[in-house]
Structure 1
Amino acid sequence: MGKATASPSAPSPRVGYTYSSAPIRARTPPRPSPVPSLKNVYDGTAVLDEDGRAVVELPEWFESLNESFRYQLTAIGAPAPELHVSRPLADHTFAIAGGGPGLGVCWQVTGVRCDHWARAHPLTPEEEKPPAQKGRFLHPELLGHPSDRSLSPYGRARLPAGPRAMEG
């Protein structure tokens, strides 16, 4: 198999979960969305070789921290209806095939975290707020509420409006 370039990006510490899309409901605190488990997302680009193939190399530790892999491939610059993962993840690499020579491919691999911390702290999609927190928000001003509705007993510090706010 010819040589292909691939460039994985570093995983984001927040990847795999997003905060609730219903923050207006003041009875529940923002929690990760109903995702069954913590996930890591890795992505990058590859250029297919003269045989229409590429091998993507991930960090050596990738498989020891993740399981249940999912793949996404997107051809760049030309249609590639035959584009596919030709070899699933093994020894921290996976293979892509089915495109023309020189075709750019955006790829993404999602893995469910299987490290000790992730197993000990599973996601809780939504839980009831304690009575003292009902009607309060992390950032009430973003929802049109006054800052005294903050979950923090001191409210939230406001950032300066711009460069002029720093003057005099």
Structure 2
Amino acid sequence: MCYLINIVYGNTKHMICKTIEVNDIPTTLQRGPQGFKGERGLSGEKGEPGVVNYKMVDEKIEEIIEQTTGSLTRRVEKLEEQVLKLQRNASKSLETDAQESICVGVTYGKTCYWTVLHSSRNVNFDEASVICTRKEGKIAFFQDSQHFKQIMKYIRALIPPSQSWVHVWLGMTISPKIASAASILTA
């Protein structure tokens, strides 16, 4: 049996081979630290083409695709559930806040009431009705005294400081005979 010893002096390498007896081999060999990587050798001869088991490859690919598809399907289903929950929550909050968030005036019940102020007093009932129609509305009437107070508070806040009053067209008339308000517009 022979073992090799690598000895390096400066830029030269030397190998020494010594014949040893089997009895001289220690029972436990300890490996030293790994040496420096050597130069790459020449390419070997091209071997025979390998045999590919395409059935096994196809089965493995299908297995990986099924695992991935199943995982993605579960993730998509969870995301769809979360989106549906968000949509339900959003539509609930939109239903409750839609009138208030879109309304530029005051909301009473489920209806938005707004006004257009003009500096002149020469807008008659018919012109006021046309102004409302152009803005996809109609002349308003009050539901009750609380509604009246809420609308009046809104209108008072719009009166310019230089004025103490404004004309407001409503879709109501007061009957002096019976002292009650009646709608002059049909619903």
The TM-score normalised by the length of structure 1 is 0.22
Structure number having the greater strand percentage:
1
Q: Which has the larger radius of gyration?
A: 2
